[in-house]
């Protein structure tokens, strides 16, 4: 099933989530794992498009969110945009949090990687899920990168401050001109997390709700 660049086609297997995989070009005894989590309305192809820019020793998995909202369009949870204030389906968000945790365990059975070097990288709603999983289960995750995301208030009661959370690597990036998720979400998350974590990197960019080359460069440097 592998192609010449070590990239697999979509996995339609028994795992909790469908996904794409890029196996490492450089094999090590302790292969680190990256799980990419796309935003609402997108799919597993989105963030996977820059997988080749990530260092060659990583095993890269790009997961598809479980809720279909259109052809080739998926979400980790539904959002109601009909009112002035967006209302999220938190039950679905919590279901997705648990699915991703289950998914990490299932990947251990299929692939060989260092369980102490698991990273979640998410954009927008995928960033929300990276927060939700990483902050509640820092025993499973070494680092999270949240690009243009936010921390759900409903997740905060699930967070326990311990040595795993203190050591969790956290990368937050956000555009100051983001008109989908306001920059204040990132600033508030940073202020909240810096009281309990010693491993925070925070970046702002003159950008909207997107990922540009500067953001990618900073993300890859953070992974190094």
Decide if 102 is inside a domain. yes
For residue 34, tell me if it sits in a domain: yes
Cross-strand bridge partners of residue 31:
none
Is the residue at 8 inside a domain? no
Render pLDDT for 77-104 as a digit per residue (tens, 0 to 9): 999 877 677 799 999 999 999 999 999 9
Q: Which of 69, 71, 66 is nearest to 79 (CA)?
A: 69
Angle at 105 between CA 101 and CA 109, to 5 degrees: 160
Residue 12 lies in a domain: no
**Entry pTM:** 0.93
Degrees (nearest 5) of the Cα angle 129, 223, 44?
45
Residue 38: inside a domain, yes or no?
Answer: yes
Number of domains making up the chain: 1
Q: Which domain holds residue 117?
A: 19-223
* 66 touches 44 (CB < 8 A): no
Residue 210, token pair as written in the block = 């997107």
What CATH number is given to the structural domain containing 156? 3.40.50.1820
How far apart are the C-alpha atoms of 123 and 145, rounded to whole Å?
Answer: 8
Q: Is residue 161 part of a domain?
A: yes
Given this model, what pLDDT does residue 83 score?
67
């Amino acid at each position: 099933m592998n192609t010449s660049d070590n990239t697999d086609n979509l996995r339609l297997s028994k795992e909790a989530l469908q996904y794409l995989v890029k196996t490492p070009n450089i094999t090590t005894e302790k292969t680190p794992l990256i799980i990419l989590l796309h935003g609402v309305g997108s799919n597993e192809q989105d963030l996977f498009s820059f997988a080749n820019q990530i260092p060659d020793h990583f095993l890269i998995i790009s997961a598809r969110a479980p809720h279909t909202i259109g052809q080739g369009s998926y979400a980790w949870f539904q959002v109601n945009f009909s009112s002035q204030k967006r209302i999220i389906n938190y039950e679905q968000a919590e279901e997705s949090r648990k699915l991703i945790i289950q998914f990490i365990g299932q990947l251990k059975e299929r692939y060989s990687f260092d369980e102490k070097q698991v990273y979640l990288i998410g954009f927008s709603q995928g960033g929300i899920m990276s927060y939700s999983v990483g902050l509640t289960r820092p025993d499973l995750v070494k680092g999270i990168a949240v690009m243009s995301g936010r921390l759900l208030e409903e997740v905060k009661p699930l967070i326990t401050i311990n040595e795993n959370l203190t050591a969790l690597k956290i990368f937050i990036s956000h555009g100051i001109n983001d008109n989908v998720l306001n920059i204040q979400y990132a600033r508030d998350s940073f202020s909240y997390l810096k009281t309990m974590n010693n491993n925070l990197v925070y970046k702002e960019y003159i950008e909207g709700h997107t990922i540009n080359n500067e953001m990618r460069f900073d993300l890859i440097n953070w992974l190094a």
